[in-house]
């Protein structure tokens, strides 16, 4: 049983959740464990939702891959950094790189508690203009970890890192081919509406905090360990055979 780092939610403290993947009944089952209890409370089946991809989505992997993984994330969310370090590498290596799955990143900035998250999301879209979305995505998370190196040894030390617009422009150096164009794009607020569109789509799917993952429409909240998502993905792949 792997522990799950709870998602960031505005003005809400979530209990520690435990995901048990392996027994799938019409989809996945999520177990929630309240601090102080000795075991999981009764399971809650997660419904499968329909997610329509669009031309503006940031997608990594084969567009025809049988499994679609959609992540709603926040660039200032500490738990999203945990998922970036502990969940995404396995997903990318075992499933995206092998053509079994594609990863879709969507923005869900919790601006009430993460004031720079929206602007960071815009920065990633300005980088996407130059074909560097994923590189900027990685840079934003990695640079925050560098500002709080204790978290690299102990996930419990992961905190909300405060950064500025100047930091975002500095982090883009060496990432985007044309820094002047990037800076002008970021200053203009060109992609503010684009970011809001992602957030609205997430709210419509029931997203309440970050990170939230969907695997072929099955929802998983928090920084779910790769080992807990793997059986779910394998079950989805088995259905395609």
Nearest to 225 by CA among 17, 9, 15: 17
Residue 234 lies in a domain: no
Residue 237 lies in a domain: no
Residue 227 lies in a domain: no
User: 72, 37 in Cβ contact below 8 A?
Assistant: no
Instruction: Pick 218 or 21 by higher pLDDT.
Output: 218
Nearest to 104 by CA among 205, 11, 3, 208: 205
Check which CATH number belongs to the domain holding 175 and give it: 3.40.30.10
The mean of the pLDDT values for the chain is 86
SS3 40: coil
Instruction: Pick 227 or 40 by higher pLDDT.
Output: 227
The predicted pLDDT at position 118 comes to: 99
CA distance 163 to 116: 7
Is it the case that residue 135 has pLDDT exceeding 70? yes
Reported as a single tens digit per residue, the pLDDT across 61-104 is 999 999 999 999 999 999 999 999 999 999 999 999 999 999 99
The predicted pLDDT at position 222 comes to: 95
Give the percent of the chain with pLDDT over 90: 77
Angle at 69 between CA 67 and CA 72, to 5 degrees: 165
What are the percentages of helix, strand and coil residues in the chain, rounded to 5?
40, 15, 45
The predicted pLDDT at position 46 comes to: 65
Per the structure, the complete domain to which residue 191 belongs is given by 49-220
Provide the terminal-to-terminal Cα distance of the chain, rounded to the nearest Å.
28
Kindly report the pTM of this predicted structure.
0.83
Is it the case that residue 47 has pLDDT exceeding 90? no
Number of domains in the chain: 1
Is it the case that residue 216 has pLDDT exceeding 60? yes
Region of 11 on the Ramachandran plot (φ > 0 left; ψ -120 to 50 alpha; else beta): left
The predicted pLDDT at position 25 comes to: 31
Is it the case that residue 124 has pLDDT exceeding 50? yes
Residue 229 lies in a domain: no
Reported as a single tens digit per residue, the pLDDT across 140-175 is 999 999 999 999 888 889 999 999 999 999 999 999
CA distance 21 to 215: 12
The predicted pLDDT at position 9 comes to: 64
Residue 233 lies in a domain: no
Residue 63 lies in a domain: yes
Residue 162 lies in a domain: yes
């Amino acid at each position: 049983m792997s522990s799950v780092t709870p998602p960031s939610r505005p003005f809400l403290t979530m209990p520690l959740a435990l995901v048990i993947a392996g027994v799938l009944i019409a989809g996945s089952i999520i177990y929630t464990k309240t601090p102080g209890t000795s075991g999981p409370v009764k399971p809650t089946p997660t419904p499968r939702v329909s997610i329509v991809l669009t031309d503006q989505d940031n997608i990594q992997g084969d567009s025809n891959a049988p499994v679609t993984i959609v992540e709603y994330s926040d660039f200032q969310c500490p738990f999203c950094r945990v998922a970036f370090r502990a969940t995404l590498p396995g997903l990318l290596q075992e499933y995206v790189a092998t053509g079994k799955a594609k990863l879709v990143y969507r923005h869900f900035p919790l601006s009430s508690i993460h004031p720079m998250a929206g602007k960071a999301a815009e920065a990633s879209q300005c980088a996407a203009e130059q074909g560097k979305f994923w590189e900027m995505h990685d840079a934003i998370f990695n640079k925050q970890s560098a500002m709080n190196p204790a978290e690299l040894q102990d996930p419990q030390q992961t905190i909300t890192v405060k950064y500025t617009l100047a930091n975002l422009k500095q982090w883009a150096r060496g990432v985007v081919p044309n820094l002047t164009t990037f800076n002008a794009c970021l200053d203009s607020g060109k992609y503010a509406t684009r970011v809001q569109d992602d957030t609205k789509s997430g709210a419509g799917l029931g997203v309440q905090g970050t990170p939230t993952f969907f695997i072929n429409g099955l929802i998983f909240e928090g920084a779910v360990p790769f080992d807990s998502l793997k059986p779910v993905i394998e079950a989805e792949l088995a259905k395609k055979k």
